[in-house]
Every structure is written in structure tokens, then in C-alpha cells.
Structure 1
Amino acid sequence: MKTTSSKFLLFIALATLFAACQENPKKESQEMEAQEITYEAPKQIISLEEADSLYVNYKNRRARIIEKMEAESQTDGKPFVPTQFVSFDIEVLKEYIGYVEQEAKKGGTTADSLRIYFGNYGNTSTKYPKKNTVFLLPTAAVNNDYGGIFIDSEGKAKLVRDWFKSQSGVNSKDGRQKAEASLLPTIPATPIMQGGTSLTLNRGNGGPPPKTDF
């Protein structure tokens, strides 16, 4: 009888221990999920007053000049509305930054900043003809130099300026200078990395807001 009771008590003890082991990780997981990450405001945050001043300055000193210049070449008689913002989904930016950090690390460097370049779609775009845009380019140190990077066909991080040096035609230095002189942007219809990987982000949503923020 004692043997049976002892076995039963041992079984109960083991079952209780097993249940506790299963419950503790669950509790720890729930506690971790309940903890919220708190961020401090970056020192680069500006006031709404300063933001409004920047917006007005751009509108008066840039947007109106662009509007006047582009209106002169409009053939349909419609007014030209300059781009005043470009937006990117926050989740897209998070994924993009993670992807850039991942690919840069695999390529042998560390991406430490993003350059935001201004661009223009020119007459070749059917969706955004003549509209301004921006594109993001990660930067990093490569071979004792620093600048925007891409990943070459061997998986190594290389400087974008070095890629241009190796190009010919419209993507060469001479080709770009001719395009700039003619004011006719030459945008390739498809990427021509030839096995490499671009880390440049575009395709944001741009235009004047349906309801202006400022």
C-alpha cells in the first residue's frame, strides 16, 4: 500500500513540476509583451512653427518657380502643380532599414546613415510626368572611402560613385553631363545592375496634400 501511495505522490509531484515549467515561460512571454519600449525625442525634432516656416519658404522660393517654369511647357493647358511632399509608409521604412543593415553587413560594412536625394521623373513617366521626387541611398565606409553604397554581383558592398565610373552610355559621367545640359532626364526603363543589388528606395507617394498640413 505504501509503495502504491509513494508512486502516486511521485506522479503528482512530477505532473505539478511539469505544469509549472510549462507555465513559467508563458508568463515570462506575457510579461515581456506587456513591457513597452520608451523612446526619447531625437534632438533633431523641430517645432511646428519652424516646420511651417520651412514649408512657406519652399512654397515661395521653389514651388512657385517650378510651377511657372513647367507651365510654360504644358501642352494641355492644365496648370502644373509642383510636388510639395513625398510620403513613405512607416512599415516600409522599417523593413527597408532592416534590409539595408542586413545586406550591408553581409557585404562587409555597416550602413550608418541615409542620404535623401531630390530627383525628377521628367517626361518619361506616365504616372508622375515632370514631378519631383526623392530617393533614399544608404551610406557606409568602404575601402577607406565613404559614400552611398550598393551590393555588387559578388555580394560585396561598393560605392555607387565607383559603379558610375565603370558605366558607359547614358549612365556614364559624360552621358549624365549631356543629359543635364539638355534638361532632358534619361531614366532607364529597367535596372541595369547586371547581377548587383541596388539599395536605393523610391516609389513613395508624392504631391500636394489633399488637405494641407501647413
Structure 2
Amino acid sequence: MKKTLKTISGFAMVTLLLMGACQEKPKESKDEEPMEETEVLVTPKQIISIDQADSLFVNYKRRRANSIQKFEMGLQDEGDKPFEPTQFVTFNLEVVKNYIAYVEQEAYKAGTTVDSLRLYLGNYGNTEKGWKKKRRNTVFIVPAAEAEDGYGGIYIGEDGKAKLIRNLFNGGQEGEPRQKASLLPSFNTSLYNGGSLILNRGDAGPPPFGDF
């Protein structure tokens, strides 16, 4: 009988201990860090409405794209596909993020701070026969900052310092006439490829169906 009572008492104690353990709240891990609140960004004042964007697109098509198409069709060889003017350029978001980070890094090492990006319009010209981007318009991005004796688009010189692109031209001062209608001179281009911070090679073409 005593043995039976001891067994029952032991079983009851174990049951109570288990029930107490189940009611305990799990302890927070010391390694767990409180979740940071995501910063809520204010809408940039430069955001435009979809209607405004559509108006810009239509204006470009009427006032520019149609004229470009007419001009290029007059230069096509017989049997070529109809020329379609470029109406947008796409850069992958990660490419843009990495580009901005890279430009900021290189400018800092060169002793300046990039505070804006200039989007230039360009054209690939009638080069590289059969290339899908031949004669198509494009954009390229130039970082701008204080450098040397003024402000403007920059590149990194051989001395590691930020230089003004415009000073590569004859004259060098903004607004002065240039002998050649080009952004960079034709001499020793390998130097400027090494110090260039200019982004290009985006995907371009007519607008995807359904955008505008």
C-alpha cells in the first residue's frame, strides 16, 4: 500500500512540474535583436502624374519620333526592316544602385562629392553593320561635381583627382565654342576609358505594349 502511495505521489509531482513548465513563457534569445522600423519616405516633389507622363510621351512621338523615323527611313537600304525610333531606355535597378555607389566612392577618393547626374542624349550612328542598336538614340549618364576650377561633368585624371570633362576641349570654359561637336576628344581614348564615370549600354527600344 505504501509503495502504491509513493508511486501515486511521485506521478502527481511529475505532472505538476510538467504543467508548470508548459505555462512558462519562452525566454527571448539573447541573440535576437529588436526589429527596426522601416523608414517611411516622403513622396519626391519631382513625381509627376501618369497623365502628365502620357502627355510628354505623346508630345515626343509627334514632335520628335515621327521626324526621326521619316529621316531614318530615307537612309535605309531596300529590304531593311522599318526603322522604329527609340522611345525609352532601361537600366536595371541594381545597375543604377551600384553605379551611384561606385560614382560616390570614386569621387570621394578623387577629393570631391558628386551632387547630381546629367543625362545626355546620344545616337549610336551608322556603325557596326547588323548591330541591333545601329542608328538608334540612347542616353548616357555623367556625374557632376566641383573639380579643379569649376563645376561640371567629371572624370578621374591620371593623378587620381577629379577633372572637368569640358577642360578636355579646346578653350575649356563652359559656353566657349568647340572645334569638334563631341563630348570627348578623339585622342588617346584609353586614358579616358580608365578614368570615365559615364554610364551607358542600357536596353532601348519602342515602348513595351501597354505602358503608353
The answer to whether the superposition gives a TM-score over 0.5 is yes
Q: Is the 8 A contact 2:169 2:185 kept in 1?
A: no
SS of corresponding position for 1:193: helix
Aligned residues between the structures: 175
Aligned identity (percent) is 52
Q: Offset of 1:40 from its aligned partner?
A: 1.1
- Structure 1 residue runs of 5 or longer lacking an equivalent are 1-19, 167-172, 181-185
Residues 1:149 and 2:149 aligned together: no
TM-score with structure 2 setting the length: 0.74
Q: Point out 4+ residue stretches in structure 1 off by more than 3 angstroms.
A: none
Q: Bigger radius of gyration, 1 or 2? A: 2
Q: Is the 8 A contact 2:90 2:204 kept in 1?
A: yes
Q: Offset of 1:210 from its aligned partner?
A: 3.6
Q: Is the 8 A contact 2:117 2:141 kept in 1?
A: yes
Matches within 5 A, 1:81-100: 81-100=84-103
The structure richer in helix per residue is: 1
Alignment root-mean-square deviation, CA: 2.6
Q: Is the 8 A contact 1:124 1:187 kept in 2?
A: no
Q: Name the residue aligned to 2:35.
A: 31
Question: For 1:42-88, what per-residue CA distance to the aligned partner results, in whole angstroms no more than 9, with x for missing partners?
Answer: 00000001000000000000000000000000003431100000010
Q: Offset of 1:120 from its aligned partner?
A: 0.1
Q: Name the residue aligned to 1:206.
A: 204
Q: Structure 2: which amino acid aligns with 1:145?
A: G
Once residues 140 and 48 of structure 1 are traced to their aligned partners in structure 2, the CA distance between those partners, rounded to angstroms, is 32
SS of corresponding position for 1:134: strand
TM-score with structure 1 setting the length: 0.74
Over 3 Å counting, the alpha-carbon distance change for 1:213 and 1:63 in structure 2 is same
Q: Structure 1: which amino acid aligns with 2:201?
A: R
Q: Offset of 1:127 from its aligned partner?
A: 3.0
Q: Structure 2: which amino acid aligns with 1:31?
A: M
Q: Name the residue aligned to 2:121.
A: 118
Question: For 1:156-213, what per-residue CA distance to the aligned partner results, in whole angstroms no more than 9, with x for missing partners?
Answer: 10001112349xxxxxx43x24xx8xxxxx997x952268410000000000134141
Residues 1:131 and 2:136 aligned together: yes
Once residues 47 and 31 of structure 1 are traced to their aligned partners in structure 2, the CA distance between those partners, rounded to angstroms, is 35
Over 3 Å counting, the alpha-carbon distance change for 1:94 and 1:138 in structure 2 is same
Q: Offset of 1:154 from its aligned partner?
A: 1.5
Q: Structure 2: which amino acid aligns with 1:213?
A: D
